[in-house]
Amino acid sequence: MKSKFLLLIPVAGWLAGCGEAPKEKPAAVSAPVSVSVVIAANETWPSIYEATGTVRAQTSGTIAARMSGYVREVKVQTGDHVHEGQQLVTLDSRDLDVNSKRAEAGSNEVRAAMPAADSAIAAAKASLDLAQVTFNRMQELYQKKSISSQEFDEATAKLKASQAAYEMARTSRAQLDSRLATVEEEIRGTEVARSYAEVLAPFAGIVVARSVEPGNLASPGMPLLTIERDGAYRLEASIDESHLSAIRVSQPVSVTLDGIDREIGARVSQVVPAVDAASRAYTVKIDLPASPSLRSGLFGRAAFQLGTHSLLAIPAAAVTARGQLQSVFVVDDGLARARLITTGEHAKAQVEVLSGLTPGDKLILPIPPGLADGAAVEVAR
């Protein structure tokens, strides 16, 4: 029994030694990270009012038919550039050709009859002159009682007949002149009508719409094509009533357009005085500089400067975005602290801070790789 008791003592001591907690080693202290800082400060920025709008052509024309006829040929497609006077559409003018030939035939007929009419006038004038001489002689003889009253009456009748024949010949010639004038006017009218069969471009531009195809029956006033003048576009923006008083003609505007990755300097050309009853907005027209990239229908934004205002601004490079959250690192008692912020306007490399910072805060910029919240930092001199 005694030997068994002695064997238990070393086992109990070994178990007691296993139950002791190990001693902790002191943690290694890392050296502070050297950082550069910028100071958050209030700045004066321009007050910008942004309005949206659509690009429209300053000059746009709908080419319509001026006569009835079937479309024989359409010589342009949508997107084609055309020059002034270029033939765009050809209408069937065969009926006009027939009318023109008929009128020309009538003109030739009248002109052919004119020499005979002139001859008739000359003959009538000769007869009238002879009758006049005869009448004068007979009148002298009658006054001397050398001829009878019947002979004098016959001379008088011949004079009157010759005068009537001469006047008739002159009237016939005048009728030919009048008929010729009518026929020539008909010919000119036919030529004008025939010119309507060839639809020409009124100015140089680009075809933006084609409303007709060969074989269609065109009628007066029917739209055929729509053309916009090259290089003459403007942005038509909608302006709230509350901002209209601050906008004036010739005011400089900064315009951005979808598909054009740059700002465009422009000026207000017109403020339309009528208000849209539905949107309660006014239309402001902004002339754009010529550019091959401009097209009617582009969506655009116009930025109007309406004075200035003060705000807290920091460099945009100091902001870290994770999803919808934005944060910065500031130096606080030698430690890097992450702060969530809310941003507002952006201007070049600066961003407005709405909340999360106060003027004088020291922002770490650039942010060292792997910098964590609470890390020790040292501001570089």
Give the model's confidence band at 214: pLDDT under 50 very low, under 70 low, under 90 confident, else very high: very high
pLDDT of residue 130: 93
pLDDT > 70: percent of the chain? 92
- Right CATH for 67-92+198-228 from 3.30.1360.120, 1.10.580.10, 1.10.760.10, 2.40.50.100: 2.40.50.100
Residue ranges of domains in the chain: 33-45+311-379, 50-58+231-307, 67-92+198-228, 94-190
User: Using one digit for the tens of pLDDT, what is the confidence trace for 56-81?
Assistant: 888 888 999 988 889 999 999 998 99
Res. 178: pLDDT tops 50: yes
The CA-atom distances, in angstroms, between 280 and each of 52, 236, 276, 277 are 14, 15, 5, 5
Fold for the domain defined by 33-45+311-379: 2.40.420
Is the dihedral angle over the CA atoms 49, 54, 55, 58 positive or is it negative? negative
Q: Please state the rounded mean pLDDT for residues 167-185.
A: 90
Q: How far apart are the C-alpha atoms of 158 and 146, rounded to whole Å?
A: 19
Query: What integer pLDDT is reported at residue 168 of this predicted model?
Result: 94
What does the mean pLDDT of the chain come to? 85
Span 328-351, pLDDT tens digits: 999 988 898 999 999 988 877 889
The whole model's pTM is what? 0.54
Q: Which residue has the tokens 């003592």?
A: 9
What is the per-residue pLDDT for 355?
A: 92
349-379 pLDDT tens trace: 889 999 999 999 999 888 888 888 888 988 8
Question: What is the Cα–Cα distance from 290 to 130, expressed in whole angstroms?
Answer: 83
Q: What is the pLDDT of residue 128?
A: 92
Over residues 77-91, the mean pLDDT reads 91
266: pLDDT strictly greater than 60: yes
Token pair in block for residue 360? 């004088």
| CATH code for the structural domain at 50-58+231-307 | 2.40.30.170
Q: Average pLDDT for residues 80-103, to the nearest whole number?
A: 86
Could you tell me which of 155, 151, 159 has the C-alpha nearest to residue 124?
Answer: 159
Which one has a higher pLDDT value, 246 or 98?
246
pLDDT for residue 29: 54
Is 60 exceeded by the pLDDT of residue 16? no
Q: What is the mean pLDDT of residues 152-181?
A: 91
Residue 12 confidence (pLDDT) above 80: no
* The pLDDT of residue 223 is above 90: yes
Mean pLDDT of the 72-96 span:
89
* Average pLDDT of the segment spanning 249-269: 88
